Structure 1
Amino acid sequence: MIRRCASWEELDLTLAPTGGPVAFCGDLSPENLLAAYRAGLYPFPAADPMLRDLNEALFEEQVADGQIALVGREDVDPYTVAWWSPDPRPVLPVAGMRLGRTLAKQVRNRAPWSTSLNRAFDEVVEACRDGREPRWLTGELVDSLARLHASGWALSAEVWEEVTLVGGVFGVRAGPVLSLDSMFHRRSNAAKVALADLAARFGQVGGVLLDTQFDSPQTRGIGAGPLPRTRYLDLLRATPDLPPPAAHPLPARRLAGGPGDGRD
């Protein structure tokens, strides 16, 4: 029997699939997007009508028997956006984010880099979209993320080589977790430096985890490890929202000793 939920608060993830979509919902409004992150989900929009139809063809049986829920209004096509909540969840403890020895040496010795928070959110998102197919960062999702950024929920960290943007990362914060959506680099390892900067800033206001969303050799290479979904959801529910991190520019060299060492 099809399982319908009016909102994310009604969605029970106890028996949800572990390695695929847990729900379909076509509402990508900023309010619904933030509510989903707070409930432990993130979106994967269909980039075109063919991928929308593929969602329905691949998962209609699981929807029909209630394994995958339909969320939101019935007059909105749900199959345009799949929502994921993996089990286990690949996460990176903020305190565990360190630059490797070789990269730390490069950051100390190379031409000075600086980092910032929220200075170039739109540029970072566009750089993450550029040339990537399928383009899951659809125009509608980008617009909603921009509105969440304006209200302080979506963040970006940037790495600068003088006045040139050379790397960045962005994501959405929910309680003690910052869910990482994407990153990019124009200089070797600049994305890792942006990630370390974001971890340091988020940790200073009480942040606990960076959520890498999808498990991969790349995410494991930066230290991400599995966390059971039940523990991830418990953490989201138990911790109130945190203040936004400090946004002032800082030298990237401070990260060479590891985030959270207190050096500016």
Structure 2
Amino acid sequence: MSQRSRVLPGFGLSLGFTVTYLTLIVLIPLAAVFIKSFGIGWDGLIEILTSERIIQSLKLSFSTALIAATINLLFGLLLAWCLVRYDFYGKKLVDALVDLPFALPTAVAGIALTSLYVPSGWIGQFLEPLGIQVAYTPIGITLALIFIGIPFVVRTVQPVLSDIEPELEEAASALGANRFQTIVKVILPILFPALLTGFALAFARGVGEYGSVIFIAGNQPFETEIAPLMIISRLEEYDYAGATTIAVVMLLISFIILFAINLLQAWLSRRSGRNAT
């Protein structure tokens, strides 16, 4: 039996280069982080894992990242839908603005959001009489993470949505499905893997975000102090082992969450493939 021809020959060479590249760029730096964290010893590890301040900062980082990614999941889908399915004046401008958080320095975004939402800011001055404070609260942190995470969802969902033919919706309508049934049973199953990917990317970016958050967070211990700031604080104290240990804890939690999302995505892809056959 002859081997199936490939468009690009040299599988062994390509695979070897890929593995080598990932090892140098990803695996070795991550291994160095784990090895460096071992220098803190068991006593230092227990101190970090039982520190109320560090635990609270981890809770804040992961909870705000999850909330922001969930909000981006909804509004990113709506924005991608409008960009793909409708033609309107200024569409190209809106499409270009989606990528702005990619190009804008995160520190600039943090300063801009802070100046807008402080009690004397353009938006904060209207929220203050209502008793709503955004700057220097977890709400402000979530807002900053929504700002930097929205492009991940839009740019992940947009090409998949573009590939869905409008005739598919027309066929569902012709078979008696209403709009809600068409969205739930036809559109969303196709988009769900892409939505999960966008959610995972936005969440991963939000967990490690530093520049746009520290300005609007206020960095109040036990209230608005994020985990990346705790790492920076340990580094400024030359406690490299402590900083890497906090990073390892964040890495393990993020890996578990992202691995679960990838398993769900793979299961949904297999299920949709079986349904298609």
* TM-score, normalised by the number of residues in structure 1: 0.24
Name the structure, 1 or 2, with higher relative contact order (CA <8 Å, separation 6+): 2
* TM-score, normalised by the number of residues in structure 2: 0.23
Which is richer in strand? Answer: 1
Compare CA radii of gyration and give the structure with the larger one: 2
